[in-house]
Structure 1
Amino acid sequence: MSVTMDGTKQQRRGNTRQRIQDVALELFAEQGYEKTSLREIAERLDVTKAALYYHFKTKEEIVVSLFEDLTVPIDAVIEWGRQQPHTLETKQEIVRRYSEALTGAEPLFRFMQENQATVRELRIGDTFKDLVRRLRDTIIDTEAPLVEQVRFVSAIFTLHAGMFVMQDMEGDPEKRRQAVLEVAVDLVTQAYEGARKGR
């Protein structure tokens, strides 16, 4: 069994597209994006190159598909948040849902960090920045004092930092995720309460 980008467990022979993405990320982490070929991905999967081509023609297509798979649940969080009242509970729930959407995305974030030139070339970085800006606009209280606006935004980046900083730490990954989430929810709560006092 392997954990997929959406956090579900699947049999190795299950979803071929997902298997290709998982194996490609493994190889990119092991030997670098530039040094990994489609042939090596096919060999690791024990499929022909033609079978791999059925799903992806290039390494770039694999990376873009990984990113697109990540954006779907994040877009859903943003759309949900936009339709809710601007209450503390809504803002806390946005952070919880965003944390869930990021579950299982550590390998992709690591790839983005270690392959910044490729990320720029494929315009993934720009698209991700736009996604985070939309999330920021959904959670932030624009009439709040600047310090509180920074706290709102910091809640989002706490979740990102948690993926990088905490991934090599000992212990249960779910407990680490919950600890990071608790800090992010705390920041939103402080920002919301501070914004109300500042009015």
Structure 2
Amino acid sequence: MAGRRTDTRERIQRVALELFAEQGYEASSLREIAERLNVTKAALYYHFRTKEDIVTSLLEDWGAALDDLLERESRPAELLTAYAGLVESRFGPVMGLVQRNTTALKAIAAGAGLADRMIRLHERLCGGSADPEVDLRARLALVAVQLNSAESGPGTSPEVALAVGLDILSPGRNPGT
């Protein structure tokens, strides 16, 4: 039964993200999400009482994935590669939602603790260095991965964005290319 509830939760999240991307967060309603899912609002309420609850769940999932990543990976290049995989496979649309709806989602995002996790990720990409150039390279590498995935429409392939991010992070890592 828990597996089925998780499947329903993920389906609601996916459909809500699609609707938020099409219409914007503020213009979307729980009724529309329920209609698109072909369920009653009462059935949707069983999992999420508000749109904010749906967004909070998405941000909490992103935060949990970041925590796991920060526990598993310690080397900067592997960390950026694993992070790029998370962005591409699951969280690019969530990043896009937050970027396109910054004002409406500011309080929800602040409550999810993502800023602290992203700071920890950045610090790990710096590899303990206090050098301003290393700091900037880590920030730009994150931007290369994140903004590429959050863009709507045709963009740079995730592989190219990651390669650019890795080159920014560690210049000269691939001599001769």
TM-score range, shorter chain: 0.7 to 0.9
Q: CA deviation at 1:112?
A: 0.6
Q: Distance in 2 between matches of 1:116 and 1:188?
A: 27
The letter of the residue matching 1:43 is E
After superposition, residues 71-150 of structure 1 pair within 5 angstroms as 71-81=63-73, 84=74, 90-103=75-88, 104-124=90-110, 127-150=113-136
Larger Rg: 1
Aligned residue for 1:58?
50
1:143-174 CA-partner distances (Å, limit 9, x unpaired): 45322321122211211122245x4226xx8x
1:110 is matched by which residue type in structure 2? G
Task: Give yes or no for contact 2:16–2:33 (8 Å, CA) kept in 1.
Answer: yes
Structure 2: stretches of 5+ with no match in the other structure: 1-5
Which position in structure 1 is the counterpart of 2:61? 69
- Identity score, percent: 37
User: What CA RMSD, in Å, does the superposition of the two structures yield over aligned residues?
Assistant: 2.3
The letter for the 2-side match of 1:138 is R
With structure 2 as the length reference, what TM-score do the two structures score? Answer: 0.83
Q: Does the 8 Å CA contact 1:91/1:139 hold for their aligned counterparts? A: yes
Deviations 1:38-82 (A, max 9, x none): 11111111111111111101110000101111122211121223x
- Name 2:154's counterpart in structure 1: 169
When the two structures are aligned, how many residues end up with a matched partner? 167
Contact 1:24 1:41 in 2 (8 A): yes
Unaligned runs of 5+ in 1: 1-13, 85-89, 193-199
Among 15, 18, 43, the residue aligned to 1:26: 18
Deviations 1:119-145 (A, max 9, x none): 212244872222210101112144453
